Amino acid sequence: MKAVVWHGKGDVRVDNVPDPIIQEPTDAVIRVTSTAICGSDLHLYSKLSPLMREGDIIGHEPMGIVEEVGRDVEHIAPGDRVVIPFNISCGHCFFCDQHLYSQCENTRDKGKLARGVNLLGRGRGASLFGYTHVYGAVPGGQAEYLRVPQAHFGPIKVPEEAGEAPDERFLYLSDVLPTSWQALAYADVPEGGTLGVWGLGPIGQMCARMALHQGAGRVIGIDNVPERLTMASRWGVQTVDFSAVENVRDVVLDLTDGRGLDAAIDAVGMEASGSVVGSILQTTKLQLDRATALRAAMSSIRRGGTLSISGVYAGPIQAFPLGDLFDMQIQVRMGQANVRRWVDDIMPLLTDEDPLGVEDLKTHEMPLEDAPLGYEIFQKKQDGAIKCVLKP
């Protein structure tokens, strides 16, 4: 089959690789019909090379048609249309029983490398599709076919009543929608309250739309990419171009009568403009991340407000203002999305009239062979690229 393969920093190619096969009774194999490039894939593309190996198949936002299932897989069958969550979870361990699927004990990588990159010495969370050798080194979904471990639990079956609805109506259940839903749940925006969203990529766009759909009075979105600002404005978001103002915090305070936001979501992470990325270096030493977006978000929240972090970070943060957050009584919540936890909440919005506008998120559709171009324009923010969907 053809698959998107990592060959080095800034170097992804579409190679011919062996077809996946059933290896465990809980496996399935799907024929991928759509697979998206995620913002966190850009970390692999340009920053997390020490955690990658040449030949790794990348990608963690796929959906497709079931081709084959192992003998212990009962809830899906060949011919079913399914979405594959990016985290791989068993569904029955201690953490899965608490709906903390991103912390699954049975798929966590407990190897030396995974333990070594956690400053607390505790290793990483559940395995992820196509995402480094500290998250299981599981072949990813930017490919024609995908082996799905833990398929007795993970795959999300597209409802039959969806009929011929396009893949893009359900594709983002793999990551974007549950990540955004969790970020918003953690933000705990009061009815009629004001939410600030840093970063208007796919996650930020959906956080903003979900907040307004759930009753937020106002959403302020911060970015500097014209196409992102335009898309957010189209959905009722009040936008701020941070490159056009001297200090984002002062602008936000002016917009909130000097008090600040009820809640803020950092949907940027270590891709923040001007930041020095806290990546794991070949020498195993750590660079410290200036966390530009995170600091701006923290400084814009009112006393007693909430900070929700969905952006990916690695390594320590310089001079983290713990004392100031304590003084202002700001709650901080964060974490990898527990995809299956939120699916039942989101699915009715996809089978209804699409109030979140999920079909108004994709900006580029291209064949799998054009994946290197997709990565390049997404990473460089060229040609209005906000969400690229590959069609194997």
Domain range for 246: 177-334
Q: Residues 119, 191: one domain?
A: no
Q: Residues 100, 193: one domain?
A: no
Q: Residues 115, 251: one domain?
A: no
Q: Residues 277, 367: one domain?
A: no
Q: What pTM did the predictor assign?
A: 0.93
- Mapping DSSP onto H, E and C, the string for the chain reads CEEEEEEECCEEEEEECCCCCCCCCCCEEEEEEEEEECCCHHHHHHCCHHHCCCCEECCCCEEEEEEEECCCCCCCCCCCEEECCCECCCCCCHHHHCCCHHHCCCCCCCCHHHHHCCCCCCCCCCCEECCCCCCCCECCCCECEEEECCCCCCCEECCHHHCCCCHHHCHHHHCHHHHHHHHHHHHCCCCCCEEEEECCCHHHHHHHHHHHHCCCCEEEEEECCHHHHHHHHHCCCEEEEHHHCCCHHHHHHHHCCCCCEEEEEECCHHHCCCCCCCCECCCCCECCECCHHHHHHHCCEEEEEEEEECCCCCCCECCCCHHHHHHCCCEEEECCCCHHHHHHHHHHHHHCCCCCCHHHCCCEEEEHHHHHHHHHHHHCCCCCCCCEEEEC
Q: Residues 145, 276: one domain?
A: no
- Domain-terminating residue out of 285, 314, 334: 334
Q: Which of 153-157, 212-216, 287-291 has the lowest mean pLDDT?
A: 287-291
Q: Residues 192, 308: one domain?
A: yes
Q: Residues 191, 114: one domain?
A: no
Q: Residues 319, 286: one domain?
A: yes
Q: Residues 17, 136: one domain?
A: yes
The reported pLDDT for the residue numbered 109 is 79
CATH code (residue 349): 3.90.180.10
The reported pLDDT for the residue numbered 58 is 97
Per-residue pLDDT tens over the stretch 287-346: 344 588 999 999 999 999 999 999 888 777 777 899 999 999 999 999 999 999 999 999
Q: What is the mean pLDDT of residues 118-146?
A: 90
The reported pLDDT for the residue numbered 290 is 57
- Domain-terminating residue out of 318, 334, 350: 334
Q: Residues 184, 212: one domain?
A: yes
Q: Residues 37, 100: one domain?
A: yes
- Using the predicted structure, report yes or no on whether residue 183 has a pLDDT greater than 70: yes
CATH code (residue 267): 3.40.50.720
Q: Residues 66, 181: one domain?
A: no
How many independent structural domains does the chain possess? Answer: 2
- Domain-terminating residue out of 287, 303, 334: 334
